[in-house]
Structure 1
Amino acid sequence: MDARSYLFVPGDRPERFAKALDTGADAVVIDLEDAVVPAAKLAARDGLQRWLATADPARLMVRVNAVGTPWHLDDVAMVSACGIAALMLPKSDSAQQLADVAARLPAATRIVALIESVAGVVAMRDIAAAPSVTRLAFGTVDFCGDAGVEGLGAELDHVRSQMVIESRYAGLAAPIDGVTLELDDFARLTEHVAKARRFGFGGKLCIHPRQVEPVNRGFAPSEDERRWAARVLAACREHPEGAFAVDGKLVDRPVIERAKRIAAFDTLTQ
């Protein structure tokens, strides 16, 4: 199952790492980039490396510092040496950047390309096809700053659609939507998750543990969807050869495949 919730935790707060893993987040992103001030970056990396010596890295991902910064190459080398299965590259602006990072990592390491700039959006098709990239994520706040866009809602609908299309074209998992900045407004968070899911996104970046459960729930099938899937699959068994309708609507192959994905969800999350 593709991860739904990606919880950021500051890379210079090792006392929070295990707590983040206990939140139920599908993936915990230890952040060496925006969450750590420049003066603390070396100590944060060293502390993370010591912690990883006794930790299970299965659900961990590290957001390294961006290409061209003084810390980038050593961050990538640390990820490579510690056996972490996934890396998030901020400010992914070109396929060459992703290829250079992949060349420094074990072949099995997964890369999430964080699209945060106009250059990244323009190059998105090539980025999605780059070696080891398994998913795209949308850095909405930084993108707005770079593009001069004022607003995180409908103003970004075109980019969201493009990200879904390019992910699908490249055979990647559904992309990851950006953060919701309102930490205590769960109605807003629920609205954002529902919109992202309608657009074709499969997960969301989280900046607080309280956001994890609503995000996981929002990207899971509802009870109505589960019941619908059961009706479709039951009718499919009764009509293995011919066309049929469920709830007054014609069922074709894409509908059947969607029903199968919904029916398989609970098995995959156990």
Structure 2
Amino acid sequence: MILTWLYAPGDRPEVVAKALASGADAVIVDLEDAVSFSRKEYARAATAERLSEHTPVPVHVRVNALDSPWGGADLNALAGLHGLAGLRLSKVSAPEQIAVAADRSGGARLHALLESALAVERAYKIARSHPALHGLSLGEGDLRADLGISSEEGLDWCRSRVIVAARAAGLAPPAQSVFPDIRDLEALAVSCARGRSLGFLGRAAIHPRQLPVIERAYLPAPQEVTAAEEILTAVRAAPGALALPDGRFVDPAVVAEAHRTLALSHRAQPA
């Protein structure tokens, strides 16, 4: 289960190498915003070389928008590479873009980044547009600019919209977008707690020091694990809906959440 995604610029292979060894669950090699126009071709070639072999953790690549001068070439260069776990499609705003990417990506798992008001409005249509699509996320920097929003809370409606769209289409809960201040880890923790309360699962990071904060925020607390164990023990003893001694009512939805909590807690335990 992936909780931490670490971005690394595609034109800096040494940074990508460090990201692969950082402890992140997955690495996102960025060919888009982190790479200047003059280095797009180099970033693409360096990334293709890296992904010609298997990697120690899953590697996804954020490609340039399909309507940009580089997006099509990105897909052509990366299609079918052994080390490619998935493609993150930037600035998706229409379902048709997913089908185009699926046709050109050699069967890669696709992930759509929604970065405009139009994209958020079409979130469910995009989410259910193609079987190759395995996830949605918000690109909050571009979305803030599009909507003219400056506050952290101002994007909560968009966040909830994308979370609901993903789950309604049968996709995994989205991961939170990056937190841009790599120094303020306390604010990152607060933001992660808010994201978890909205229904996100995990978060993308732009620096390795953010990874432990994100992981702690999204792993269940000891009391949550204890409560989940109590629920499942009670259900095994008396299957079906029931009330626990403390008055909590247990139905299939509560049982499913208890299983999810324990799955997350087991992820934190050493093998």
For the aligned pair, the TM-score class normalised by the smaller chain equals over 0.9
Q: How far did residue 81 of structure 1 move? A: 3.5
CA distance in 2, matches of 1:238, 1:50: 55
- Which stretch shifts more, 42-51 or 66-75? 42-51
Task: Give the counterpart letter for 2:8 in structure 1.
Answer: V
Residue matched to 1:112 = 111
Residue matched to 2:64 = 65
Residue matched to 1:16 = 15
Task: Give the counterpart letter for 2:99 in structure 1.
Answer: A
Q: How far did residue 54 of structure 1 move? A: 4.0
**Where do residues 1-270 of structure 1 align in structure 2 (5 Å cutoff)?**
1=1, 3-56=2-55, 59-83=58-82, 84-107=84-107, 109-131=108-130, 132-151=132-151, 153-241=152-240, 243-245=242-244, 247-268=246-267, 270=271
Check 1:121–1:238 CA distance in 2 against 1; reply closer, same or farther (3 A cut). same
CA displacement 1:62-96 (0-9 Å, x = unmatched): 00011111111110112214231200011011111
In the alignment, structure 2 segments of 5+ residues that lack a partner are none
Q: Is the contact made by 2:94 and 2:119 (CA closer than 8 Å) also made in structure 1?
A: yes
- Which stretch shifts more, 207-216 or 75-84? 75-84
CA distance in 1, matches of 2:203, 2:90: 15
CA distance in 2, matches of 1:258, 1:177: 20
CA distance in 2, matches of 1:81, 1:220: 34
Task: Give the counterpart letter for 2:178 in structure 1.
Answer: V
CA distance in 1, matches of 2:27, 2:238: 44
- TM-score of the two chains, using structure 2 as the length reference: 0.93
CA distance in 1, matches of 2:242, 2:265: 28
CA distance in 1, matches of 2:182, 2:110: 27
Task: Give the counterpart letter for 2:28 in structure 1.
Answer: V
Q: Percent identity?
A: 36
- Which stretch shifts more, 47-56 or 252-261? 47-56
DSSP 3-state at the match of 2:255 = helix
CA distance in 2, matches of 1:114, 1:242: 40
Q: Is the contact made by 2:27 and 2:57 (CA closer than 8 Å) also made in structure 1?
A: no
The total of aligned residue pairs comes to 267
Check 1:150–1:259 CA distance in 2 against 1; reply closer, same or farther (3 A cut). same
Q: How far did residue 183 of structure 1 move? A: 0.7
CA distance in 2, matches of 1:241, 1:207: 45
Task: Give the counterpart letter for 1:205 in structure 2.
Answer: A
Task: Give the counterpart letter for 1:159 in structure 2.
Answer: C
DSSP 3-state at the match of 1:85 = strand
CA distance in 2, matches of 1:79, 1:68: 17
DSSP 3-state at the match of 2:262 = helix
Please tell me the root mean square deviation across aligned C-alpha atoms, in Å: 1.6
- TM-score of the two chains, using structure 1 as the length reference: 0.94
Check 1:242–1:148 CA distance in 2 against 1; reply closer, same or farther (3 A cut). closer
CA distance in 1, matches of 2:200, 2:54: 30
Check 1:246–1:118 CA distance in 2 against 1; reply closer, same or farther (3 A cut). farther
Q: Is the contact made by 2:138 and 2:176 (CA closer than 8 Å) also made in structure 1?
A: yes
DSSP 3-state at the match of 1:231 = helix
